[in-house]
Structure formats: structure tokens, C-alpha cells
Amino acid sequence: MKISPGKIITLISGKIAKNIGMHSVRYFFTASSEVTNFPEFVAVGMVDDFQIEYYDSNTKRAEPKQDWMKKVTEDKADYWEWETQRAVYYQQLFKVDLDNFKRRFNQTGGLFMIQFILKKDSDRGTLLLLLLGPHMRGGAACFS
């Protein structure tokens, strides 16, 4: 029986994954308007339910939240600058999305919030969208 190199790599990586365990990665992006004492935009990165990074529109800086994350990135001087730039991009994108959602739902004022959850637990990724507004009970959509 002939086995292709791709299958060997898959078998090896599957065996390694079983031995070291699989990890889940989630990113939470929240944009809001008119929420007292809460930033207009927050991005949080998580690995296996541990927060690894954080950014908000008040501090305008991405930062590590775990010592091991600081250590892994300490020799990559521009890593956190890149993460900050990426978060600023998402902040701008979410501001446009928030304004569009408010217009679509005819919201001229009051609390309005959208949250995207991007998660990767296995071979598939999932994007979850949550909406919350003054005249809404909340809505959700899930894309895999």
C-alpha cells in the first residue's frame, strides 16, 4: 500500500495533537455606543479560556495578559505594535458596522452593542454575531 506524504503528515500531526492536546482560540470583538464607563471598542484574545491579549479604544494599545505571552513575544519587538494596528483597523471597521446596524434597526439613540466571536476549536472556525439594542432582546447569527 502506498501512502502519500500528505497522509503521513496528517497521521503524525494527528498523533501529536492527541498527545499534546488540542487548544481552542477565541477572539471577542465588542463595539458599543452610549454605554457608560465602557470603551466604544474592546478586543480580547483567549486560548483555552485564558485571556492572552487585550485592546480597547480608551488605551489604544494591544497588550499581553499572560506572562508566557510576554515571554514568547519579547524577541519580536514589533509584535505588539502590529497587534495594536490590527485592533485599530477592527475598531474602525466595527464603528462602520455599528453605525450601519443602528441605521438598519432605525436606532437614533440609546445603548447599542454588537459582538463578534471568532473561535477555532478544531478544524473548523466559527463566527458568531450578537446584536443588542434598546428595542431588541438580542439577536444572534452563527456562521461556520
Over residues 14-36, the pLDDT tens digits come to 333 444 567 788 899 999 988 88
In a 13 Å sphere around the CA of 141, the CA atoms on its Cβ side amount to 5
Burial category of 98 from C-beta neighbours within 10 Å (exposed 0-12, middle 13-18, buried 19 and up): buried
26 falls within a domain: yes
> Of the segments 28-32, 108-112, 126-130, 138-142, which one has the largest average pLDDT value?
28-32
- Checking if the pLDDT of 143 tops 50, the result is no
Cell readout for 38 is 465602557
Overall pTM > 0.85: no
Measured at the CA of 111, the angle between CA 110 and CA 112, to 5 degrees, comes to: 115
- Checking if the pLDDT of 138 tops 80, the result is no
7 falls within a domain: no
64 falls within a domain: yes
Which single residue is written with the C-alpha cell 456562521?
Answer: 143
The rounded mean pLDDT for the chain is: 76
Nearest of 34, 12, 33, 14 to residue 22 by alpha carbon: 14
- Checking if the pLDDT of 10 tops 50, the result is no
Q: How many domains does the chain have?
A: 1
Provide mean pLDDT across the span 47-73: 94
Nearest of 114, 143, 113 to residue 127 by alpha carbon: 143
pLDDT of the residue at 88: 97
pLDDT of the residue at 102: 85
92 falls within a domain: yes
Looking up residue 93, the CATH number of its domain turns out to be 3.30.500.10
Provide mean pLDDT across the span 55-63: 97
> What percent of the chain clears pLDDT 90, i.e. is strictly above it?
38
Domain carrying residue 44: 22-143
